[in-house]
A and B are shown apart, each in its own frame.
Chain A
Amino acid sequence: GNSVTQMEGPVTLSEEAFLTINCTYTATGYPSLFWYVQYPGEGLQLLLKATKADDKGSNKGFEATYRKETTSFHLEKGSVQVSDSAVYFCALSAGPGANNLFFGTGTRLTVIP
């Protein structure tokens, strides 16, 4: 079946620290992979995505590389800011024609000054 496992939080970092949030997946077929972010009081927003193996998605200083050999899509940022405090969700789609996104449980990140 299709599932996503991401590291449990919460994660607390100091400003300018390096961030990694781990995400691994199980999927049939050739999934696309996504990171969504939810800021306090708001809905989820797409942060970045990758649609095939070895693709790198990037946005707002965040990056994630689609690693088929390790079935992973880890989120990284070199220097976090207080404004990055949010809940981050890893998700996958099961491939062409799929109607469903499968989400991980979310990881809450708090960045302190």
Chain B
Amino acid sequence: NAGVTQTPKFRILKIGQSMTLQCTQDMNHNYMYWYRQDPGMGLKLIYYSVGAGITDKGEVPNGYNVSRSTTEDFPLRLELAAPSQTSVYFCASSHAQRITDTQYFGPGTRLTVL
């Protein structure tokens, strides 16, 4: 059971480039989340999904897009990378939306935009 996997682990982008951060979970969870963690700060929610085909904005969605075509995958798209998007990105999933349900996190993707 791999849990939540994220690729790549590290990436350096130039300003204006685009990329997709991949997230896959094998626990058949309905709910998936994307967070970012800036240096010295707590995690902030970017987008979340309550099931295939359904996504919604979190606290800091600007500059990002998501899609959820399958239960397993929840990719995060950066269209025009900016230095402000330098951060560590965490994907998470949970079985149900009760906020007290445990969220399972991936190991993170460290992104630097120069």
- Counting chain A CB atoms within 10 Å of each CB, which of B41, B58, B107 scores highest? B107
The CA of A89 and the CA of B102, in the complex, are separated in Å by: 14
- Contacts A43-B90, A44-B90, A106-B42 given; does A101 touch B107 at CB 8 Å: no
A-B pair count, CB < 8 Å, reads 64
Contact A93 to B100, CB < 8 A, known contacts A43-B106, A45-B105, A101-B45: yes
Contact call B108/A99, Cβ cutoff below 8 A? no
How many residues of chain A get a CB closer than 8 Å to chain B's CBs? 28
* Residues in B whose Cβ lies below 8 Å from that of A95: 99
> Which single member of A32, A36, A43 contacts B100 (CB below 8 Å)?
A32
- Bitwise, B44-70 to A at CB < 8 A (1) or not (0) is 110010000000101100000000000
The 5 lowest CB-CB distance pairs between A and B, nearest first, are: A43-B105, A103-B42, A93-B99, A44-B105, A103-B43
